[in-house]
Amino acid sequence: MRFLDQIQEPAYAILRIMSGLLFIQHGTQKFFNFPAEFTYDLSAMSMAAGGIEIVGGLMIAIGLFTRPAAFIASGMSAVGYWLVHGLGDFYPINNGGELIALYCFIFLFIATRGAGIWSADGAMSKS
């Protein structure tokens, strides 16, 4: 499917932007009960995660210091998976951890690849 080669960079940029924007919602849910109510206790660990979700998600979405932000978001997702989901059952489909596991690996990929096009990092490197 060679025709997809020509949209590889825009597709990656859209993956980075949308992953960051979707990640932000987890933080806004914790702090502002938006777009849905956060029904768990807001512990210090949840607040730290929420801060990473908002700040890291924004940095990933706009492509600013993308590699370190994505690396931290990936690590937070891995820790969150094992602390919240992984102790209940090994399989993500059974323990409700599919989404956070997916974030972990998407952000690890972004950390290794960098911001790409349509990013603040890219704009700064040109000047």
Q: Which residues contact 86 (CB under 8 A, 6 or more apart)?
A: 95, 97
Give the pTM: 0.94
**pLDDT tens-place string over residues 15-36:** 999 999 999 999 999 999 999 9
Average pLDDT score, the chain: 96
CA distance 127 to 122: 9
For the chain, the residue count is 127
Domains of the chain, residue spans: 10-122
Given this model, what pLDDT does residue 126 score? 81
Q: Cα 63 vs. chain centroid, distance in angstroms?
A: 12
**Are 121 and 114 in contact, with CB atoms under 8 Å apart?**
yes
Given this model, what pLDDT does residue 75 score? 98
- Whether the per-residue pLDDT at 53 is higher than 80: the answer is yes
- Which residue do the tokens 């060679």 mark? 2
